[in-house]
Each structure stands twice: as C-alpha cells, then as structure tokens.
C-alpha cells in the first residue's frame, strides 16, 4: 500500500469496517460534532451505565430500606458483586477484589494496613513520575508515623523525563525498603511498567508491592494473581467509564487475607457479623476487609452496566483494538506532523505502550485550546504535554485520521496563537 492510500479517508473507513468492536460505539452518548479523545481522564457515559443507575434508583423507590437485601442487585453485596465483575480485567480471583473508596483513600488503606516499618526497613519506594496524589498519600503516611519523607521516601529518577527503567527501580530496592508503590501505566507518557518483573525482584528482597492501575485497568490486560502482586488500587472513571466520582477499587492478594484493616469501619466486617453490632471488629476474610464506611451506591451503580460491556467485549480484544488505534495515530503523526515540532513522548514498542498517545510541544497548552475550538477534546498535561486517547469501545479510525488532520491545519494556520499558552483551572 502506498503512503498516499494510507493517508486517505477511505483507508480509515476500511479499518473501521473490519473492527470487531464497532457495535459498542452505539452504546455510548457521543456529542455531535465532537471527537472525544479524553477517555483516559473521564470515560463517556454508556446507555448501560445510565440504565444501571436508574435501576438502583428504582430499587430505592420500590423497596426503601429493604433494597439492601432485595432486588436484582441487593445493595449490601454490591461491592462484592462489582469486585467479581472487575476481577477478570486484572487477572484476579473474585474474593481478591472489592469496589470501594477512591484512589487516594484506597492507597491510604493499603499503607495503613500493610506498611509496617521496623528496624532499618522503613523506606517506601516510588518514582518521580508518579501521579501527585500517590506521592501526597505516601508522604502523609510517613509523617503520621513520625518519619521524615525526605529520608524515608525514595523516588526513582527518570533518565528522560518521560519513562522509568525497571533496572533503576530494581537497583533502588535496598534492604531499607519496606514497600513499593508504582503505577502500572505512567499517566503522562503511557509507559507500561513490567509489573511481573518488578514484583518478582521485590519479593526476592522481602519487599511488598502495590500498583496504581488508574491508567491501565480497562485498557490493558493484567495477571496480578499469577504475578504475585501484593496490592493494587484504581479509579473507575477513566477507561472503565464509571462516571465522575465513580467508586474505585482495591486488589489484595489472598496471601494477605486476615490482616486487620489499618483504617477500620463497619463495612470492614465479615458480612455475617456486621449487624451483631459488637465493638470488636471481625474483619471480612477477603479483600472486603479493606472497606470502611457504607458504600456510595449511586456512584457505584453505573459500573454494573459499564463492566457488563467489558465482560461482553473482552479485555484482550479491547487491547488489540487500542494498539491498532494508537499505532495508526503514531504513523499518521510521523507522516503529517513531522515538520511542526512535535515530539512523541510515549513508548513506540506496543508491549510498553498503554492506551494513549503523548505528544510534547512548547505550545501544548495553546494547541489543546485550538483542538477544542475545532471540536476535539484532548488532555493537557503541564508543562508541555498533549494526551490523546482513542478509546477502543467508542472511538474510530476515521476519528484518529480526522484529529491528525485537524492538528496539521492548526499548525499550518497557526490557529493556536490566538490562545494564551497556559492551562485552564481544570486541565
């Protein structure tokens, strides 16, 4: 195939006609005249998620307080039900997953429960490219224990400002490290860390490992139980399309079952004991012990619909299409945008690349505003990053082509110059 044929709209349409997942696009609410490439920040609303929320509202209307034990999805068991539906996406056993809390709350719970500094083994290992909320939580937990974060938080340096080398992480695994917290996929560059290798090397040294899956769950397959990963946590509003503020999740490897939760609450209880109202907690014998208070049902309900879609489509097919979309976009960028000063910041190797494309440009903030002015929803990351996420369940190859053409037009006509080169309050 010639380059001229590759660049045509007809070729993009051919790719869409061959797409095994194309029917799922019709399940989402798409804005007319808009290309939505920000699903790695907030996924779109699906009709299934909307209906699931309506169903929970209906059960409240119909049953009142009896909705805790009656109806299609009794509320009392909803966190476990959603955990069971989530487990295949991360390669876990159903009892190892619970849907609860938020990203930051769940990290605090993991640290409060399993970070046990003793003697010289007191340090937490992270990296300098981690999402800020994780670092805030780590520093907070160290401060609570009277440990100086400047001394007890080790952050692996990036050699290029975009990626982290596993060799550098392993080198930092000294006998002073008690726990490691890393992202499965780095939020800026989209680099996938080798979670299996990191876990194996940490365990050789007696270190436990937790992964932040916010940018990997629903985007790439995982095998957490097989890899022996100790803990993981994630949000549900990005690739999982659970909605703004959707309830998050925790994975706890079954080898850690039986631990008393560091931050206990009445939903930490064994279900059979919860309403005995004893003042001595009997923790759930599963990941359910990581819960605290009453579940936020209306923020969890949409996941019933969204996760059913993942069960139907299959995470392997989702990953296959995602790579085809980003491969196609990267090829178009290399051909059409090579003379406009863009730098591709994400790994080119498919094994190392998550679900979005990351471009760097000195005018990134203004370019993102120009994209929005042209009906494209991107994601700006300070200081000079543009994230573009063609999501497998609802974006198309034709949209990928159109976005690159719009970017080319913006640069040729210097449309970005009419905007201020700084981020909005919410970037």
Q: How far is CA 386 from CA 366, 382, 410, 418, in A?
A: 10, 9, 14, 18
Pair 215, 387: CB distance under 8 Å: no
Residue 138, C-beta contacts closer than 8 angstroms, at least 6 positions apart: 107, 111, 124, 126, 149, 153, 181
What count of other Cβ atoms lies within 10 Å of the Cβ of residue 122?
18
3-class secondary structure for 219-254? CCCCCHHHHCCCEEEECCCCCCCCCCCCCCEEEECH
Q: What is the mean pLDDT of the chain?
A: 97
d(CA 329, CA 172): 35
Angle between helices 315-336 and 397-412 (to 10 degrees): 30
Q: How is residue 323 written in tokens? A: 């790579």
* Cis ω before 383 (30° cut-off from 0): yes
61-76: average pLDDT:
97
- pLDDT digits over 69-105, tens only? 999 999 999 999 999 999 999 999 999 999 999 999 9
- pLDDT digits over 152-188, tens only? 999 999 999 999 999 999 999 999 999 999 999 999 9
d(CA 356, CA 102): 23
> Does the CA dihedral 184-185-188-189 come out positive or negative?
positive
Q: What percent of the chain has pLDDT over 70?
A: 99
Domains and CATH numbers, the chain: 3-30+314-418 (3.90.1150.10), 51-312 (3.40.640.10)
Checking if the pLDDT of 420 tops 90, the result is no
Annotated binding site for pyridoxal 5'-phosphate: 103-104, 131-134, 212, 215, 237, 266, 294
Annotated binding site: 103-104, 131-134, 212, 215, 237, 266, 294
Position 425 scores a pLDDT of: 63
- pLDDT digits over 236-272, tens only? 999 999 999 999 999 999 999 999 999 999 999 999 9
Pair 155, 180: CB distance under 8 Å: no
d(CA 63, CA 149): 50
Going by pLDDT thresholds of 50, 70 and 90, the confidence category of residue 426 is low
- pLDDT digits over 391-410, tens only? 999 999 999 999 999 999 99
Q: How is residue 424 written in tokens? A: 């909005």
d(CA 332, CA 355): 17
Going by pLDDT thresholds of 50, 70 and 90, the confidence category of residue 32 is very high
Going by pLDDT thresholds of 50, 70 and 90, the confidence category of residue 423 is confident
d(CA 195, CA 227): 8
Q: Which of 266, 290, 226 is nearest to 87 (CA)?
A: 226
- pLDDT digits over 287-346, tens only? 999 999 999 999 999 999 999 999 999 999 999 999 999 999 999 999 999 999 999 999
d(CA 138, CA 115): 10
3-state SS class at 153: strand
Which residue is associated with the tokens 């159903």? 94
Q: How is residue 329 written in tokens? A: 């976009």
418-422: average pLDDT:
85
pTM comes to: 0.97
Pair 354, 185: CB distance under 8 Å: yes
């Amino acid at each position: 195939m010639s380059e001229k044929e590759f660049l045509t709209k007809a070729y993009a349409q051919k790719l869409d006609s061959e797409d095994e997942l194309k029917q799922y696009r019709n399940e989402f609410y798409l804005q007319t005249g808009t290309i939505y490439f920000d699903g790695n920040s907030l996924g779109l609303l699906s009709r299934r998620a909307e209906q699931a929320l309506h169903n929970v509202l209906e059960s409240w209307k119909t049953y009142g307080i009896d909705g805790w034990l009656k109806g299609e999805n009794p509320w009392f068991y909803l966190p476990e039900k959603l955990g069971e539906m989530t487990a295949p996406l991360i390669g876990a056993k159903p009892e190892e997953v619970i849907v609860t809390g938020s990203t930051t709350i769940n990290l605090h719970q993991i640290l409060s429960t399993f970070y046990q500094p003793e003697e010289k083994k007191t340090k937490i290992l992270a990296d300098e490219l981690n999402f800020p909320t994780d670092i805030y939580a780590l520093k907070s937990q160290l401060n609570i224990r009277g440990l100086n974060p400047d001394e007890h938080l080790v952050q692996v340096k990036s050699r290029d400002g975009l990626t982290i080398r596993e060799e550098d992480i392993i080198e930092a695994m000294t006998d002073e490290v008690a726990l490691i917290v890393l992202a499965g996929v780095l939020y800026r560059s989209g680099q996938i860390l080798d979670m299996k290798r990191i876990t194996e090397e940490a365990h050789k040294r007696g270190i436990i490992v937790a992964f932040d899956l916010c940018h990997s769950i629903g985007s790439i397959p995982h095998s957490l139980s097989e890899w022996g990963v100790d803990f993981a946590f994630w949000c549900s509003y990005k690739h999982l399309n659970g909605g703004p503020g959707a309830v998050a999740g925790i994975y706890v490897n079954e080898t850690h079952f039986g631990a008393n939760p560091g931050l206990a609450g009445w939903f930490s209880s064994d279900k059979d004991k919860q309403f005995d109202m004893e003042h001595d907690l009997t923790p759930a014998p599963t990941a359910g012990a990581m819960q605290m208070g009453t579940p936020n049902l209306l923020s969890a309900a949409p996941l019933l619909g969204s996760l059913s879609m993942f069960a139907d489509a299959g995470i392997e097919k989702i990953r296959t299409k995602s790579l085809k979309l980003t491969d196609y976009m990267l090829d178009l960028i290399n051909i059409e945008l090579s003379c406009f000063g863009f730098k591709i910041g994400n790994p080119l190797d498919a094994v190392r690349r998550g679900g979005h494309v990351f471009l760097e440009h000195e005018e990134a903030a203004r370019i993102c505003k120009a994209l929005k002015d042209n009906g494209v929803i991107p994601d700006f990351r300070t200081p000079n990053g543009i994230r573009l996420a063609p999501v497998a369940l609802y974006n198309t190859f034709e949209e990928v082509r159109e976005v690159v053409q719009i970017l080319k037009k913006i640069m040729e006509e210097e449309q970005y110059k009419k905007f201020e080169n700084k981020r909005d309050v919410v970037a």
